[in-house]
């Protein structure tokens, strides 16, 4: 057996670096977080070849005093904490004290830093954990890190890096998250000489979202604000129509730090279940503030994961904040009029604006003169063409006058925007105003809407407040059945329907135990289940509205979704999912004719619901189209 020996410090540092530094993005994360902790208001990150060969990070923070520069690169040296007690309440981003030591162990590092109090800065060079030089230099206030040749002395680690393009994308993703977590800091990211991101640093999260994700997402946000003392949250969540096929758009931060949390992710996605299609995930930018004593951020060296001391409280808080925000607005999708597609490879022609009166008048004079010439040549006495030309001139004049007046009104109504740092809040606020003067799904609206009829034996047309609403009878009925079931479970207002013969479930030991543990929940829903000997159970009654479709397979699916990891508070939600599936089967189908009275009753039931806008699987129950959009489609207006 080989002899045991203590490793040298350089080897120890390289091993430790493997825990913290996985790729160039890891270095950028640590150094940018340090810059933010140093009270920087502007941070610039520049990389080349994905950051493998070159990283430069410049900030205007407080800088590092000359006598402390070399100390900063020692393991477990930090300005963030002083003792073990500080670990529970630390509010800064990087605090493990291993970042600079780990970076310098596997790369060539140069740092130039200056404090406001000193006339000169300091240039410090360290390679592979070995100090090379330290000298005074002229420098601006703040700190600049230059990192060259990552893993140059650990080739086994270097070969596992991805292509420069892939590594650059990881850095870009990181910079977006940092910009969203700290909108008060102006963050710029430059890749191979091209600026990819540059935020204003004006403290407005919405402006960062607009800059990073674009107008479509920024115009479809719902603001979240909730404060319950020990926990509070603020930020934005996306309307269901901008959901995506993966979790990449789920961004949430705890005490300013981007983290991953199964509890928070589950709470967010559970709150969206009634609003989105299956396998769709929401857009979120949420900032949480929790008591430091209730979380442990030392789960992983990168500080990306954490643990909560009160998991259920956190879940409930996040779920309520998101769900109640989604329920508040009327989320009826609007039918947009698509623009005609442009021909490809055709040179773009400059089309005059409607208000270009001189152009149109000139063209119309030419057309009228042409009519005169044609009439003269053919010796036609009828003046129809002449009248037609004059009528077109009159219409053009009317259109010009109308558009000039409308444009003048719009200009007077719009705030003046500064071109350098545009404040997007006013523009986006205007675009997010609901296009309904009155909501359709209110008791007052019942007295005013007009039921026009049914198309394709599935969709009902309703006219209200210069809007055309189209209601999917199947999706609407699903929603009604689903919420009836859930409310019945909460209020214990279920009536049960007895089965003859009963459904016999032959369960495994684990399934039998889970059913027994959650028997009260099934009873509240309206099931009557009793032991039938051993691990067999007889289902003698089911909720009355599920009587016609209650099957053994569906009941087993409900049990399959229960596990030892599910808390008693989470179990109702999982069973609720199966209720949604069962409700779907019990709902009136498409291609089934309903009477006007039945549809009016269905709309009346929708009025009473918490979320009338989506079926249990996230499909819309109602879509809308404005009178103006119809008139544009028929060319009645420009």
Q: How far apart are CA 291 and CA 311, in angstroms?
A: 13
Q: Which of 158, 279, 123 is nearest to 617 (CA)?
A: 279
Phi, psi of 308 (to 5 degrees): -110, 140
Tokens of 409: 């009104």
Cis peptide upstream of residue 28 (ω within 30 degrees of 0): no
Phi, psi of 432 (to 5 degrees): -90, -5
Q: Which of 28, 48, 23 is nearest to 159 (CA)?
A: 23
Q: How far apart are CA 542 and CA 527, in angstroms?
A: 4
Q: How far apart are CA 432 and CA 242, in angstroms?
A: 14
CA 366 to mean position of chain CA atoms: 55
Residue whose tokens read 């950028």: 28
234 neighbors 221 (Cβ within 8 angstroms): no
Give residue 477's pLDDT: 83
Give residue 415's pLDDT: 41
CA 553 to mean position of chain CA atoms: 35
Give residue 36's pLDDT: 93
307 neighbors 295 (Cβ within 8 angstroms): yes
**How many residues in the chain?**
638
Q: Which of 40, 69, 70 is nearest to 141 (CA)?
A: 40
Give residue 430's pLDDT: 34
Query: Which of 98-112, 140-154, 237-251, 315-329 ranks highest by mean pLDDT?
Result: 140-154
Cβ contacts of residue 498 below 8 Å, gap of 6+? 528, 540, 541
Going by the DSSP 8-state scheme, the letter that residue 66 receives in this structure is: G
Span 157-170, average pLDDT: 90
Q: Which of 531, 517, 525 is nearest to 559 (CA)?
A: 517
Q: Which of 336, 337, 333, 335 is nearest to 622 (CA)?
A: 333
Span 577-605, average pLDDT: 70
Give residue 69's pLDDT: 92
Give residue 17's pLDDT: 57
Digit-coded pLDDT (tens) for 371-402: 444 444 443 344 444 444 444 545 555 555 55
Q: Give 216 or 321, the one with higher predicted confidence.
A: 321
44 neighbors 188 (Cβ within 8 angstroms): yes
- Of 3-12, 61-70, 197-206, 325-334, the range with the lowest mean pLDDT is 3-12
Q: How far apart are CA 489 and CA 521, in angstroms?
A: 8
Q: Which of 21, 28, 20, 33 is nearest to 258 (CA)?
A: 33
Q: Which of 455, 481, 477 is nearest to 468 (CA)?
A: 455
């Amino acid at each position: 057996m080989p002899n045991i020996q203590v490793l040298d410090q350089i080897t120890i540092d390289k091993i430790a670096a493997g825990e913290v530094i996985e790729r160039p993005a890891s270095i950028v994360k640590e150094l940018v977080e340090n810059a933010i902790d140093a009270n920087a208001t502007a941070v610039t990150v520049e990389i080349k070849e994905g950051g493998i060969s070159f990283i430069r990070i410049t900030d205007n923070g407080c800088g590092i005093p000359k006598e402390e520069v070399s100390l900063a690169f020692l393991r477990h040296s930090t300005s963030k904490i002083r003792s073990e007690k500080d670990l529970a309440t630390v509010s800064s981003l990087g605090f493990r004290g291993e970042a600079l030591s780990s970076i310098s162990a596997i790369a060539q590092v140069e740092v130039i830093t200056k404090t406001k109090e000193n006339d000169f800065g300091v240039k410090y060079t360290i390679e592979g954990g070995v100090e090379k030089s330290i000298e005074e230099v002229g420098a601006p206030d703040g700190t600049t890190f230059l990192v060259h040749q990552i893993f140059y002395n650990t080739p086994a680690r270097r070969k596992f890096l991805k292509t420069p393009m892939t590594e650059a994308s990881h850095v870009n993703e990181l910079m977006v998250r940092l910009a969203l977590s700290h909108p008060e800091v102006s963050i710029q990211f430059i890749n191979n000489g091209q600026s990819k991101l540059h935020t204003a640093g004006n403290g407005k999260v919405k402006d960062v979202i607009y800059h990073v994700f674009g107008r479509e997402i920024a115009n479809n946000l719902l603001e979240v604000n909730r404060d319950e003392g020990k926990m509070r949250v603020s930020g934005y969540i996306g309307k269901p129509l901008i959901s995506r096929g993966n979790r990449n758009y789920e961004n949430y931060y705890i005490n300013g730090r981007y983290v991953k949390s199964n509890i928070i992710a589950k709470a967010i996605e559970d709150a969206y279940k009634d609003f989105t299609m299956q396998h769709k995930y929401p857009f979120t930018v949420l900032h949480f503030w929790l008591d430091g004593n209730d979380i442990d951020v030392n789960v992983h060296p990168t500080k990306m994961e954490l643990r909560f001391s009160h998991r259920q409280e956190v879940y409930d808080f996040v779920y309520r904040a998101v769900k109640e925000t989604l329920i508040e607005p009327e989320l009826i999708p609007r039918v947009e009029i698509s623009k005609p597609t442009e021909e490809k490879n055709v040179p773009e022609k400059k089309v005059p604006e409607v208000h270009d009166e001189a152009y149109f008048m000139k063209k119309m004079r030419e057309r009228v003169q042409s009519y005169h010439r044609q009439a003269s040549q053919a010796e036609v006495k009828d003046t129809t063409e002449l009248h037609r030309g004059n009528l077109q001139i009159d219409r053009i004049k009317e259109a010009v006058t109308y558009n000039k007046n409308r444009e003048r009104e719009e200009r007077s109504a719009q705030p003046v925007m500064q071109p350098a740092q545009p404040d997007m809040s006013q523009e986006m606020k205007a675009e997010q105003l609901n296009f309904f003067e009155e909501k359709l799904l209110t008791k007052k609206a019942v007295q005013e809407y007009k039921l026009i009829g049914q198309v394709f034996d599935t969709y009902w047309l309703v006219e209200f407040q210069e809007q055309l609403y189209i209601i999917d009878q199947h999706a609407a009925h699903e929603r009604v059945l689903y919420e009836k079931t859930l409310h019945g479970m909460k209020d214990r207002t279920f009536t049960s329907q007895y089965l003859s013969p009963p459904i016999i479930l032959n369960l495994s030991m684990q399934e039998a135990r889970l059913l027994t543990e959650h028997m009260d929940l099934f009873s509240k829903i309206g099931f009557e289940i009793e032991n039938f000997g051993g691990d067999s159970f007889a289902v003698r009654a089911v909720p009355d509205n599920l009587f016609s479709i209650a099957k053994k397979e569906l009941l087993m699916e409900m049990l399959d979704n229960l596990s030892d990891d599910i808390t008693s508070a989470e179990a109702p939600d999982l069973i609720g999912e199966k209720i949604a599936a069962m409700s779907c089967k019990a709902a009136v189908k498409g291609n089934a004719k309903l009477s006007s009275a039945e549809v009016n009753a269905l709309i009346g039931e929708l009025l009473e619901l918490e979320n009338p806008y989506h079926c249990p699987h996230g499909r819309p129950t109602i879509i809308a189209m404005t009178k103006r959009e119809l008139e544009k489609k028929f060319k009645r207006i420009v």
